[in-house]
């Protein structure tokens, strides 16, 4: 045991640990800590185990005198010894057992010194020795008192041992089964009553059951009948006390069964040593009872000064209990720890002693491969580690200023237990390179992060409670801003109070703490940011507080890692930046998306209800566009009211969103309104002129068709969203958007000039500061709608007087006047409805459409139309009337514009006054030029291009088709065999 008494160097913990006062690490007292040695699986109580352990102790000490006889000292003699209390006692009993050693030594305990515990000379404990010395003057007597054994019981045990030794002279105690021998030494008369005797007998039988049947040194052989016989005897004894006389049959059976089972050895031969109390965990539970005698019976937290002598005697039981130095060190560690726990965790000396004792356990763990020891070691250390980690995983709650000095011991205890468990027991660890795993650092890292998270959660709850208490006050401080201040204080406290202690095992203790705090607050900050729809003053306040907190935490991490290998880069990398500006930017983008989405939903909803009625307002544009533009204006104003410093940088995002949203409105405004080709009639197939066709057309039928068409036009243009008045409103709406966009863009420049963070370049540079898509879309939309209005008017609304009426039958009687009359009415209505800035364009498009319609009637009007050469004059007159309608005596469209748009008609009309032979020759010539030499043998039928021209074959062919002339009819019949009717 020499190494047990060696002083352990603990200078790093500081001398103050040896002088710590009584502190409370935990307010509640934990007394239900489970034994790591396991359960005995029978109902032996602690007091019964203690009495058995005392019997073993006395027997072992009395039989270890190297052949000296066991002597019994009557109680009267012991009383005389107690009364004398003289130094001469020791010399007068020099030949007696070690149990009778005098308690006169005043030397400091080597064990207590090795454990780092205070000596009895401490003024706090100075009254305790005298109280004990009045009761015990020998080590044996002290042990009896410490184990709470009565004098009568002690006397009975000693008498029994004398009788046993007399009957088995020279036989060592380890060669006996003590409970078996004791059962034969007493009769019921030697006890106070039969009940006491029965309890005593049953205890010894239960001990035999536990040591030989339940927890044998060697596993039981299933073929052996002895275990069954022993069980039967114990069972019968429970109903009726066992007859223990020497000649008792039941006793003989019991002895035979017990001795055959206890004398077994691993080699298969009968052993000289009886194995009845050295099976696990019975032996450890008994040994635990002996070691608990090291604590003062009157003051439970105090290790007696005579612990050296007591442990020396307890060691004599090792041969019976199968204990060695390793198991002693482990069991003593647990006893010290359990005593600290069971006495309310108030004496830090005990905890300090456990930590020192674990140093011996660590040495043992490195040198043994005993699986039983490893199992018990793992269980014991797991219990100790579990207790320590329960406190260290939330050390902010466990340790305060009044008990912070004990924290280092608890940390050391937890780290020591963890290192033994991982380094000396874990097979996985052994497979790795040990230098790759720093157990202490990993555990401390876990403790820091866990406790920091717990403390953070508590601070957050506290901040929330404060916020709720102040919620009725004007402008209460935002929760996360309050929390940021609290976390900054927590980080400072961590750096000053806890990190200096933890730095012994983890060089970056403060850095780990602040990195964890940084992450915890960052998670809350992210959640807060993701949960708000728009940027508010509270959000700004929170982000600024977060920015300050981040700077404080990073500063602590940098200072803590100055001397580290990587300069703290790993810790800094762990602290993902909050990026307050990015957070603000993202919030603004969320705000932008929300506003744009709301606007788009409003656009869709109101477009469905929009009637495009010209009667809705004086300006003749859609009421919905007023609301759309108002919302856009309000959105821009709200954007520049946001309390941020990055308006110029984020404005392009807003403008892009508004631009797309407004573009959606523009697209919906012009969609479904038709186009030029949608209103053009289908060209009939080519026929040659039917000479009698113009006489077969009845004027009455023409009138009926005309009336029917008029009624249809009126219906179509009423409340139809695609009627001419409604299309004009759509045009006006697009024009209004163009005008207002210019106003908005000028207002944006003013906003930017007033923004704090705007630079001159932001104002001058127009990129991202304008509506990029909508202006062009408006121009394109006006063009599309204007053309749709024109062709709808000419080919749809006026179809009955143009396509169905003009020149049908006799040209002289179906001239253009009816069409001009209705067209003039349409033009007046359109001029009154459409905006002045686009009026000329719309009228011009109608003029172009009417010119196209005029030519289409002449060149593709179908078999009901035919023209003689002399009809050319009236056709030209009608076209002049049509042009004059747009000129309107100088009040309409300009001459040059009319001339430009009428060029094609003016070029084609001379063909109608050209003689037929000349037309045929020109047609041949142009066709040959177009199709080449292959056309000489047979003239091909030219395709219809729709682009009329006096030099285009199809145009010439169509003039011939509608020429009311025999020559033309013969040519067409011969050349193309064209029919006279469809």
What per-residue confidence (pLDDT) applies to 716? 44
| Residue 155 covered by a domain | yes
Q: pLDDT per residue over 645-669, tens digit each?
A: 778 888 889 999 999 999 999 999 9
Tell me which residue of 477, 380, 468 sits closest to 420, measured CA to CA: 380
DSSP 8-state code for residue 495:
I
DSSP 8-state code for residue 692:
T
**pLDDT-based confidence at 344, cuts 50/70/90?**
confident
477 and 495, same domain (yes or no): yes
Which residue bears the tokens 């006489």? 695
Which residue bears the tokens 């007859």? 243
Q: What angle do CA 337, 338, 341 make, to 5 degrees?
A: 90
What per-residue confidence (pLDDT) applies to 355? 92
554 and 460, same domain (yes or no): yes
- HSE-up (13 A, CA, CB side) for residue 265: 8
On whether the CB atoms of residues 603 and 625 are closer than 8 A, the answer is no
**Beta pairing partners, 867:** 963
573 and 595, same domain (yes or no): no
CA distance 589 to 597: 12
| Residue 611 covered by a domain | yes
| Residue 732 covered by a domain | yes
| Residue 896 covered by a domain | no
| Residue 398 covered by a domain | no
| Residue 651 covered by a domain | yes
Q: pLDDT per residue over 100-150, tens digit each?
A: 665 655 467 889 898 888 776 544 444 444 444 445 678 889 999 999 999
198 and 217, same domain (yes or no): yes
User: What is the number of domains present in the chain?
Assistant: 4
**pLDDT-based confidence at 672, cuts 50/70/90?**
confident
Domain boundary among 323, 343, 372: 323
Q: pLDDT per residue over 578-595, tens digit each?
A: 887 787 788 788 888 888
Does this model's pTM top 0.75? My answer is no
650 and 572, same domain (yes or no): no
570 and 596, same domain (yes or no): no
CA distance 709 to 803: 11
On whether the CB atoms of residues 658 and 638 are closer than 8 A, the answer is no
DSSP-based three-state secondary structure for 91? helix
On whether the CB atoms of residues 910 and 858 are closer than 8 A, the answer is no
DSSP-based three-state secondary structure for 303? strand
CA distance 25 to 350: 13
71 pLDDT exceeds 60? Answer: no
635 pLDDT exceeds 80? Answer: yes
298 and 183, same domain (yes or no): yes
What per-residue confidence (pLDDT) applies to 209? 94
| Residue 117 covered by a domain | no
Per residue, what are the HEC states of 138-177? EHHHHHHHHCCCCHHHHHHHHHHHHHHHHHCCCCCHHHCC
CA distance 950 to 797: 30
Q: pLDDT per residue over 939-956, tens digit each?
A: 888 888 878 999 999 999
What per-residue confidence (pLDDT) applies to 982? 64
Which residue bears the tokens 């909050």? 578
154 and 271, same domain (yes or no): yes
592 and 548, same domain (yes or no): no
On whether the CB atoms of residues 917 and 967 are closer than 8 A, the answer is yes
Q: pLDDT per residue over 240-252, tens digit each?
A: 888 888 788 888 9
Q: Residue range 253-282: average pLDDT?
A: 87
Mean pLDDT value across the chain: 83
Domain boundary among 510, 545, 578: 578
802 and 929, same domain (yes or no): no
What per-residue confidence (pLDDT) applies to 487? 94
Q: Residue range 407-431: average pLDDT?
A: 81
777 and 738, same domain (yes or no): yes
Count CB-CB contacts under 10 A for residue 879.
19
937 pLDDT exceeds 90? Answer: no
| Residue 623 covered by a domain | yes
Tokens of 517: 């705090």
What per-residue confidence (pLDDT) applies to 766? 56
- HSE-up (13 A, CA, CB side) for residue 671: 8
Tell me which residue of 151, 500, 115, 132 sits closest to 337, measured CA to CA: 115
Quick one: angle between helices 348-367 and 371-392, nearest 10?
140
We report the CATH number of the domain holding residue 831 as 1.10.357.50
DSSP-based three-state secondary structure for 19? helix
Question: In terms of residue numbers, what domain contains 561?
Answer: 439-578
CA distance 370 to 425: 11
On whether the CB atoms of residues 731 and 838 are closer than 8 A, the answer is yes
Count CB-CB contacts under 10 A for residue 242.
20
Domain boundary among 520, 550, 578: 578
Tokens of 11: 């200078």
DSSP-based three-state secondary structure for 102? strand
Q: Residue range 882-909: average pLDDT?
A: 93
50 and 185, same domain (yes or no): yes
């Amino acid at each position: 045991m020499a190494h047990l008494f060696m002083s352990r160097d603990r200078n790093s913990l500081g001398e103050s640990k040896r002088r710590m006062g009584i502190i409370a690490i935990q307010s509640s007292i934990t007394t239900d800590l489970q034994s790591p040695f396991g359960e005995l699986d029978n109902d032996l109580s602690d007091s019964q185990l203690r009495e058995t352990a005392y019997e073993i102790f006395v027997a072992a000490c009395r039989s270890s005198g190297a052949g000296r006889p066991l002597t019994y000292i009557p109680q009267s003699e012991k009383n005389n010894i107690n009364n004398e209390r003289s130094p001469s006692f020791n010399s007068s009993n020099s030949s007696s057992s070690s149990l009778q050693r005098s308690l006169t030594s005043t030397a400091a305990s080597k064990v207590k010194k090795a454990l780092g515990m205070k000596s009895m000379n401490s003024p706090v404990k100075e009254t305790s020795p005298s109280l004990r010395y009045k009761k015990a003057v020998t080590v044996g007597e002290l042990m009896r008192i410490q184990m709470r054994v009565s004098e009568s019981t002690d006397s009975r045990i000693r008498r029994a041992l004398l009788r046993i030794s007399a009957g088995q002279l020279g036989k060592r105690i380890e060669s006996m089964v003590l409970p078996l021998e004791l059962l034969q030494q007493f009769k019921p008369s030697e006890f106070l009553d039969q009940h006491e005797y029965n309890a005593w007998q049953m205890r010894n039988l239960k001990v035999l059951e536990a040591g030989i049947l339940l927890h044998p040194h060697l596993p039981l052989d299933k073929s052996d009948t002895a275990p069954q016989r022993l069980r039967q005897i114990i069972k019968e004894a429970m109903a009726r006390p066992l007859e223990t006389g020497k000649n008792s049959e039941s006793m003989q059976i019991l002895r035979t069964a017990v001795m055959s089972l206890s004398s077994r050895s691993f080699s298969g031969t009968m052993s000289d040593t009886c194995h009845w109390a050295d099976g696990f965990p019975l032996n450890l539970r008994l040994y635990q009872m002996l070691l608990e005698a090291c604590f003062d019976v009157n003051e439970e937290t105090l290790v007696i000064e005579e612990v050296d002598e007591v442990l020396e005697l307890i060691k004599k039981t090792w041969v019976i209990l199968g204990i060695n130095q390793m198991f002693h060190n482990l069991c003593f560690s647990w006893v010290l720890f359990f005593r600290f726990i069971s006495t309310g965790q108030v004496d830090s000396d005990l905890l300090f002693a456990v930590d020192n004792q674990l140093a011996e356990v660590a040495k043992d763990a490195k040198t043994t491969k005993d699986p039983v020891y490893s199992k018990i070691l793992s269980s014991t250390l797991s219990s100790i580690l579990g207790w320590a980690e329960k406190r260290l995983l939330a050390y902010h709650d466990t340790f305060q200023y009044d008990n912070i000095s004990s924290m280092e011991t608890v940390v050391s205890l937890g780290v020591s237990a963890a290192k033994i468990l991982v380094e000396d027991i874990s097979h996985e660890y052994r497979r790795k390179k040990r230098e790759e795993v720093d157990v202490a650092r990993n555990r401390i890292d876990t403790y820091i992060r866990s406790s920091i998270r717990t403390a953070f959660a508590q601070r957050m709850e506290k901040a929330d409670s404060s916020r709720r208490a102040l919620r009725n006050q004007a402008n209460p401080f935002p929760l996360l801003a309050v929390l940021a201040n609290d976390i900054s204080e927590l980080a400072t406290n961590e750096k000053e109070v806890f990190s200096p202690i933890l730095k012994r095992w983890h060089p970056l203790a403060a850095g780990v703490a602040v990195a964890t705090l940084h992450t915890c607050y960052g998670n809350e900050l992210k959640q807060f940011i993701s949960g708000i729809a728009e940027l508010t003053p509270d959000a700004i306040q929170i982000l600024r507080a977060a920015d300050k907190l981040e700077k404080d935490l990073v500063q602590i991490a940098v200072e803590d890692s100055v001397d580290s290998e990587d300069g703290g880069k790993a810790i800094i990398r762990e602290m993902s930046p909050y990026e307050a500006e990015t957070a603000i930017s993202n919030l603004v983008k969320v705000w932008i998306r929300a506003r744009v989405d709301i606007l788009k939903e409003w656009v869709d909803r109101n477009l469905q209800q929009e009637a495009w009625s010209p009667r809705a307002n004086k300006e003749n544009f859609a009421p919905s566009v007023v609301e759309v533009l108002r919302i856009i204006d309000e959105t821009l104003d709200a954007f520049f009211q946001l309390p941020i410093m990055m308006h110029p940088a984020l404005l392009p995002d807003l403008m892009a969103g508004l631009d797309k949203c407004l573009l959606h409105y523009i697209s919906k405004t012009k969609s479904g309104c038709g186009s030029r080709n949608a209103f053009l009639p289908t060209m009939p197939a080519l026929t040659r002129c039917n000479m009698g066709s113009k006489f077969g057309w009845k004027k009455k039928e023409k009138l009926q068709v005309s009336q029917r068409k008029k009624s249809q036009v009126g219906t179509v243009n009423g409340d139809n969203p695609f009627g001419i008045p409604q299309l004009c409103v759509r045009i006006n709406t697009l024009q209004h958007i163009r005008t207002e966009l210019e106003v908005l863009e000028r207002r944006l420049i003013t906003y930017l000039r007033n923004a704090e963070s705007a630079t001159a370049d932001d104002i001058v540079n127009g990129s991202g500061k304008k509506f990029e898509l909508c202006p062009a879309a408006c121009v394109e939309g006006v063009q599309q709608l204007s053309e749709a209005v024109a062709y709808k008017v000419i080919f749809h609304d006026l179809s009955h007087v143009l396509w169905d009426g003009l020149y049908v039958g006799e040209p002289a009687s179906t001239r253009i006047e009816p069409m001009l009359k209705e067209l003039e009415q349409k033009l007046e209505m359109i001029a009154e409805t459409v905006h002045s800035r686009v009026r000329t364009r719309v009228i011009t498009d109608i003029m172009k459409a009417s010119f196209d319609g005029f030519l289409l009637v002449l060149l593709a009007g179908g078999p009901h139309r035919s023209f003689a050469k002399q009809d050319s004059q009236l056709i030209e007159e009608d076209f002049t009337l049509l042009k004059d309608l747009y000129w309107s005596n100088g009040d309409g469209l300009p001459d040059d514009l009319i001339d430009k748009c009428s060029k094609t008609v003016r070029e084609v009309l001379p063909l109608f006054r050209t003689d037929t032979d000349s037309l045929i020759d020109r047609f041949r010539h142009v066709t040959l030029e177009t199709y080449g030499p292959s056309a000489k043998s047979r003239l091909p039928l030219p395709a219809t291009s729709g682009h009329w021209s006096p030099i285009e074959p199809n145009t010439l062919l169509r003039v011939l088709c509608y020429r009311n002339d025999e020559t033309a009819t013969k040519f067409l019949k011969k050349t193309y065999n064209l029919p006279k009717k469809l």
